Structure 1
Amino acid sequence: MSKLILIRHGESLWNKLNLFTGWVDVPLSERGIEEALKAGELLKEWKIDVVFTSELVRAIQTAMLVMSKNTSGVPKIEHENGKMKDWGIVYGEHGKNYVPVYKSWHLNERYYGKLQGFNKDEAKKIYGEEQVLLWRRSYDIAPPGGESLKDTAERTIPYFKEKIIPELEKGKNVLVSAHGNSLRSIVMHIEKLTKEQVLKLNIPTGVPLIYEYSEGKLERVGYLYEWGYDKSLHIE
């Protein structure tokens, strides 16, 4: 039985400032770093065989901070193209003592288009509170120049099926470090949530969400806290 560990990146500097972030490459805040390290302590003794992250630094930071506490091996980013792919091959005695980390834009946060960089309260003043709420809480309505949650799901779910599920089928434990909306779409697929349910799904930052994979099925274990598992899905 293999395990799937989903983790939403810790608080970013723009989360802290209440800004629409999307694909803007913003690092973690001090609190976000603490959240990632705390998750790493919880997962310290867990065997992790492979890591997937988005292309955005806040998700990469979170994955690396988690793995800095883990005993499975040294995380190593696998470059898929160019000289880094060829020059990054490990030939020495530690060739097997590392955990591969794969980055993909398919796991990026929802792209917020022309809202990116706007304070959320300022955006309400410009576009109207009802319109901003519609963009944020509708399944298939996108902000200007951006993606809807449906658009996000159309890139995350195929990647999940084609790249992540095969690793689970091999019996490997997988860590996925990504974002609120990219993970919501993956959880929607796993849990078979309706469009209405996924819009109410709230995935907390820096808290591992654990699934067990067996015989082609994923079963939720729950969110992992220092006191144990929270088995609810946080649909508010």
Structure 2
Amino acid sequence: MPFPDRTLVIVRHGQSLDNERDLFSGIRDPDLTERGVGEARSCGRRMKEVGLSFDIAFTSELTRARRTLSLILSELGQPDLAVHRSAALNERDYGELAGLNKRESQERWGVAQVRAWRKSYDAVPPGGESLAMTADRLLPYYRDEIESRVLAGQRVLLVAHGNSLRALIMHLDGISADAVADVHLATAQTLAYRLDERGRVVEKRAISA
């Protein structure tokens, strides 16, 4: 079996309608584009090709992540897999940036400020969440609900969002607050982690669709 027990696979959702228009989404709830549907299906097919199957899955409350997960499970032949949903896994709240495209936001606040809000660990967009705040709500849920199942020997699938997963990758990979600015996940990008009995990463693999 190429993927043993204590495996966690994380996936960013497929392209959304806001991604297509280069808009900040945050907790807005756009659906997938046709391309996003194709990305999700391709992701599921690739998982099946490399021998992945799962004992349980987790996702956010937002449509783009939930639908990506559903499409993946369909391709895996596991459409009835138990799925847990939580707002703790939602994308970060972009506040006043939500619904604006990058150009509009840069014209309003400046290129450097918008980059800081997008990429840095603790800069807070007006009315929204920093990556640090996102981590503060995500990591307790991860430890209590997700990591506990991985450590019990299960293979767990998590489909979420670019920033919520950046916060998790920062934790799993031991990335510093300064270095996290360089962490980026493309739509439907997939990473597999194998953990030891204490929750430390012993292997990390990228799974390309």
Scaled by the length of structure 2, the TM-score of the pair is 0.93
> What is the CA distance between 1:220 and its match in structure 2?
3.3
> What is the CA distance between 1:204 and its match in structure 2?
2.0
Written as runs of structure 1 = structure 2, the 5 A alignment for 1:116-127 is: 116-127=98-109
> What is the CA distance between 1:74 and its match in structure 2?
2.8
Aligned to 1:111: 93
Distance in 2 (CA, whole Å) between partners of 1:74 and 1:138 is 37
Runs of at least 5 residues in structure 2 that lack an aligned partner in the other structure: none
Query: How many pairs were matched up?
Result: 202
- Quick one: percent identity of the two aligned structures? 40
Written as runs of structure 1 = structure 2, the 5 A alignment for 1:156-167 is: 156-167=138-149
Distance in 1 (CA, whole Å) between partners of 2:136 and 2:57 is 21
> What is the CA distance between 1:67 and its match in structure 2?
0.2
Distance in 1 (CA, whole Å) between partners of 2:141 and 2:178 is 23
Aligned to 2:114: 132
Aligned to 1:60: 66
The verdict on how the C-alpha distance between 1:131 and 1:207 changes in structure 2, with shifts beyond 3 A counting, is closer
Root-mean-square deviation (Å): 1.2
Distance in 2 (CA, whole Å) between partners of 1:207 and 1:220 is 17
The 4+ residue runs of structure 1 with deviation greater than 3 A are none
Distance in 2 (CA, whole Å) between partners of 1:125 and 1:66 is 38
Distance in 1 (CA, whole Å) between partners of 2:103 and 2:154 is 43
Distance in 2 (CA, whole Å) between partners of 1:116 and 1:124 is 13
Distance in 1 (CA, whole Å) between partners of 2:23 and 2:123 is 20
Distance in 2 (CA, whole Å) between partners of 1:32 and 1:117 is 19
* Preserved contact between residue 70 and residue 79 of structure 2 (Cα < 8 Å): no
Aligned to 1:231: none
Runs of at least 5 residues in structure 1 that lack an aligned partner in the other structure: 76-98, 227-236
Aligned to 1:42: 46
Q: Structure 1 stretch 105-114 or stretch 198-207: which is displaced more?
A: 198-207
Aligned to 2:176: 194
Aligned to 1:219: 202
Distance in 2 (CA, whole Å) between partners of 1:218 and 1:159 is 18
Deviations 1:43-99 (A, max 9, x none): 12422110000110000011000000113x333xxxxxxxxxxxxxxxxxxxxxxx1
* Preserved contact between residue 120 and residue 180 of structure 2 (Cα < 8 Å): no
Tell me if 1:146 matches 2:128.
yes
Considering only CA atoms, is the larger Rg found in Structure 1 or Structure 2?
Answer: 1
Distance in 1 (CA, whole Å) between partners of 2:161 and 2:203 is 19
Greater relative contact order, per chain length (Cα 8 Å cut-off, separation 6+): 2
The verdict on how the C-alpha distance between 1:63 and 1:131 changes in structure 2, with shifts beyond 3 A counting, is same
* Preserved contact between residue 7 and residue 193 of structure 2 (Cα < 8 Å): yes
> What is the CA distance between 1:213 and its match in structure 2?
2.1
Q: Greater helix share, 1 or 2?
A: 2
Scaled by the length of structure 1, the TM-score of the pair is 0.82
